[in-house]
Amino acid sequence: MAKLYFFYSTMNAGKSTALLQSNYNYNERGMDTLLFLPKVDADANKNKIHSRIGLIADAISVDTSFDFFEYVQNLKNEKKVDAILIDEVQFLTKDQVRQICKISDTLNIPSMCYGIRTDFRGELFSGSMYLLAYADNLVELKTMCEYENCTRKATMVARFVNGELVTEGEKVV
């Protein structure tokens, strides 16, 4: 049976790079993948997943009403789907996470989800919360803390406004 993987970290840990590398590895072996990106990020990036090291790939833009299971099940009747990869999964809904679980469990397609676990207040994002609960494998991608020359592992996203660390405000800016 295929598994659902959740790769999580703070910002700048290489999540998109890891996703694009996995996609490359599948494609190099003649396997077909589907890449998805939530609309909130897709609109700003012209439906492309970008990594800071320059890797780029086209992705399918999804809004909160998008049904992953229905889409993949219908597409699977027309073409081979060997894996799905989703970036910025923190923006997914509980129902969408359950749909992704169903893809792996009933369609036997591995699902690899990449996203931020918590916001700058230390609160879980909805998509991340349900992926932490439902994923078969949890993988933390680590990066270094950038706050005041700290050299420890980063544990959460920090928000700065005019050079000052803030701990209150909207979840997403």
**Exactly one of 88, 140, 164, 168 is catalytic; which is it?**
88
pLDDT digits (tens, 9 = 90+) for 108-165: 999 999 999 988 888 899 999 999 999 999 998 887 777 677 777 766 676 677 777 6
The answer to whether residue 146 is catalytic is no
Q: 83 - beta bridge partners?
A: 33
Note if the pTM is more than 0.85.
Answer: yes
Q: Which of 26-30, 52-56, 71-75, 91-95 has the lowest mean pLDDT?
A: 52-56
**How far apart are alpha carbons 132 and 75 in whole angstroms?**
27
Please answer whether residues 12 and 142 qualify as being in contact, where contact means their C-beta atoms are separated by less than 8 angstroms.
Answer: no
